């Protein structure tokens, strides 16, 4: 409003003031308007700091430093877009850190690699006083009051549990509170949006009986069911089967950019009915369907999703460290205020943005925990996936090993047979000795 008044004032004075005065007046108005908008953004984000749904810093720590935290200072890390200083500059109060291992580890050492990634997240979030590891909505709220950056752990890709519900439960015990059902490869029980890997191909079976058991066990534990990276059919099946709200932790609008990782409007409508959440991804290829994008195009995704399902179903899932190309002006985690300022410029209300920044995620997390509490009397699931559905050559069936070579009985018989020869002359000698003595 201030900018418009300035322009009107300048227009009325055009005929009576020198051109130089007009230029100075216009520049002053723009400066005041810009300063006011920036301060409004800062005030809003200080009151409602960001909860971001997806960050792959742990992956970069493995790639660049082989998880040796002693080699880095997390306050200021080169070659990445995330460190403590920039998280604080971007008003990021809570970060879902992804625990991700490549799909090539499926049927191999995915569980071991996942445990190592959980370890590095736990270490970085306990060894640095600016971070705080949290495992509940209440702890997340408390960390904000203590001015800490809350760390939530999410397993990215169902292949990390090796089709094992006990493994899922052990990850939960270690602090994991979210899991994407797939990454860029199918699991034996769920389908990915990607066609990069030709594994576990099925027809009309996007979430198998075991896949539904995974969703049920996540509901019982109080884990967020994350549908980013899943096929649309798997997402629909999980939406129907889950008793708790689900999330897309880092996905954008298919109507704005028709990439398979994005979410179509019909699926968004079902997500709203489930009281779920889509956390918008900043990756340029998901924003503009090309390598180049800008903040305005990111805001288009927010605008469209709000138009379809409302601001109460939207969050932020930047995907820093996981993606390789980001929009101009959103190159690292310090730049979140630029996006919020753009949305304010597009007449988003402060209440809508407070929901997008953190309140929507807190609502979903608390609802997931309420479902968990409702299911507290339910026993841990003992559903097991049929071995023929896994066909994993690295799986060992725990049975007593078959003895190798001749059996104990046959060895004993052989030994007896071999001793018959020497016993005959020995017995003869003993008898002759007895006769001689007598």
Closest Cα partner for 215 from 158, 156, 275, 153?
158
Residue 397's pLDDT is: 77
**3-class DSSP state for residue 185?**
coil
DSSP 227: -
183 is a catalytic site residue: yes
**3-class DSSP state for residue 95?**
strand
pLDDT over threshold 70, residue 108: yes
Say which residues have a Cβ less than 8 Å from residue 91's Cβ, sequence separation at least 6.
Answer: 42, 45, 46, 49, 50, 336, 337
Residue 37's pLDDT is: 87
* Within a domain: 363: yes
374 is a catalytic site residue: no
Report pTM. 0.84
Average pLDDT, the chain: 88
372-392 average pLDDT score: 94
Q: Which domain holds residue 361?
A: 36-390
pLDDT over threshold 50, residue 423: no
Q: Of these residues, 132, 156, 226, 321, which one is catalytic?
A: 156
Beta-ladder partners of 294:
328
- CA geometry: angle 248, 254, 259, nearest 5 deg: 95
Q: Of these residues, 54, 91, 159, 283, which one is catalytic?
A: 54
Total domain count, the chain: 1
147 is a catalytic site residue: no
Residue 35's pLDDT is: 58
pLDDT over threshold 70, residue 432: no
250 is a catalytic site residue: yes
pLDDT band at 401 (very low <50, low <70, confident <90, very high): confident
Q: Residue with structure tokens 């994991």?
A: 176
pLDDT over threshold 80, residue 428: no
118-145 average pLDDT score: 98
Of 6-20, 221-235, 238-252, 401-415, the one with minimum mean pLDDT is 6-20
Residue 405's pLDDT is: 63
What the block records as the tokens of 162 is 């090796």
* Within a domain: 362: yes
Q: Of these residues, 107, 162, 216, 319, which one is catalytic?
A: 319
DSSP string, 106-126: TTTTHHHHHHHHHHHHHHHHH
Residue 406's pLDDT is: 61
Higher pLDDT, 6 or 44: 44
> Using an 8 Å Cβ cutoff, are 222 and 375 in contact?
no
* Within a domain: 341: yes
The CATH number given to whatever domain includes residue 316 is 3.20.20.140
**What is the C-alpha end-to-end distance of the chain, expressed in Å?**
134
CA distance 302 to 228: 17
156 is a catalytic site residue: yes
> Using an 8 Å Cβ cutoff, are 340 and 91 in contact?
no
Of 67-76, 85-94, 394-403, 414-423, the one with minimum mean pLDDT is 414-423
**3-class DSSP state for residue 329?**
coil
pLDDT band at 429 (very low <50, low <70, confident <90, very high): very low
What are the tens digits of pLDDT across the range 183-202? Answer: 999 999 999 999 889 899 88
142 is a catalytic site residue: no
Residue 399's pLDDT is: 80
* Within a domain: 408: no
> Using an 8 Å Cβ cutoff, are 378 and 220 in contact?
yes
* Within a domain: 145: yes
pLDDT over threshold 50, residue 151: yes
* Within a domain: 171: yes
138 is a catalytic site residue: no
Q: Of these residues, 91, 107, 162, 183, which one is catalytic?
A: 183
Residue 275's pLDDT is: 98
Q: Of these residues, 91, 159, 250, 259, which one is catalytic?
A: 250
* Within a domain: 435: no
pLDDT over threshold 60, residue 50: yes
Say which residues have a Cβ less than 8 Å from residue 160's Cβ, sequence separation at least 6.
Answer: 99, 101, 110, 111, 113, 114, 171, 179
328-348 average pLDDT score: 98
* Within a domain: 137: yes
pLDDT over threshold 70, residue 288: yes
> Residue 413, Cβ neighbours under 10 Å: how many?
12
pLDDT over threshold 80, residue 138: yes
153-181 average pLDDT score: 98
Q: Residue with structure tokens 């390598």?
A: 291
407-431 average pLDDT score: 43
Q: Of these residues, 91, 159, 229, 259, which one is catalytic?
A: 229
């Amino acid at each position: 409003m201030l900018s418009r008044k300035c322009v009107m004032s300048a227009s009325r004075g055009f005929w009576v003031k020198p051109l130089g005065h007009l230029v100075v007046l216009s520049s002053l108005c723009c400066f005041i308007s810009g300063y006011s908008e920036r301060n409004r953004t800062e005030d809003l984000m200080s009151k409602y700091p960001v909860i971001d749904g997806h960050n792959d810093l742990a992956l970069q720590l493995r790639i660049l430093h082989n998880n040796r935290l002693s080699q880095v200072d997390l306050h200021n890390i080169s070659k990445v877009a995330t460190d403590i200083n920039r998280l604080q500059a971007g008003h990021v109060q809570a970060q879902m850190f992804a625990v991700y291992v490549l799909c090539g580890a499926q049927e191999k050492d995915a569980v071991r690699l996942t445990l190592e990634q959980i370890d590095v997240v736990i270490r970085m979030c306990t060894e640095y006083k600016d971070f705080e590891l949290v495992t509940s909505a209440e702890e997340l709220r408390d960390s904000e009051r203590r001015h800490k950056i809350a760390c939530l752990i999410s397993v990215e890709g169902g292949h990390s549990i090796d089709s094992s519900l006990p493994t899922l439960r052990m990850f939960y015990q270690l602090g994991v509170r979210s899991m994407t059902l797939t990454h860029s490869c199918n699991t034996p029980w769920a389908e990915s949006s990607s066609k990069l890997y030709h594994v576990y191909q099925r027809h009309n079976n996007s979430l198998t009986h075991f896949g539904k058991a995974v969703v049920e066990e996540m509901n019982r534990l109080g884990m967020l069911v994350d549908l980013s990276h899943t096929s649309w059919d798997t997402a629909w099946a999980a939406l129907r089967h889950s008793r708790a709200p689900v999330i897309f932790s880092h996905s954008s609008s298919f109507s704005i950019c028709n990439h398979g990782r994005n979410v179509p409007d019909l699926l968004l409508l079902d997500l709203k009915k489930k009281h779920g959440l889509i956390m918008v991804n900043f990756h340029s290829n998901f924003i503009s369907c090309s390598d180049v994008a800008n903040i305005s195009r990111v805001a288009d995704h927010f605008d469209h999703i709000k138009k379809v399902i409302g601001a109460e179903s939207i969050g932020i899932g930047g995907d820093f460290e996981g993606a390789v190309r980001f929009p101009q002006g959103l190159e690292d985690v310090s730049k979140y205020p630029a996006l919020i300022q753009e949305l304010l410029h597009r007449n988003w209300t402060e209440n809508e943005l407070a929901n997008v920044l953190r309140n929507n995620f807190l609502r979903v997390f608390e609802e997931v925990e309420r479902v968990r509490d409702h299911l507290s009397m339910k026993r841990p699931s003992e559903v097991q996936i049929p071995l023929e559905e896994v066909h994993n050559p690295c799986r060992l069936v725990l049975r007593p090993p078959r003895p190798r070579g001749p059996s104990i009985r046959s060895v004993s018989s052989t030994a007896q047979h071999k001793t018959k020869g020497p016993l005959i002359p020995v017995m003869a000698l003993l008898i002759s000795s007895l006769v001689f003595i007598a």
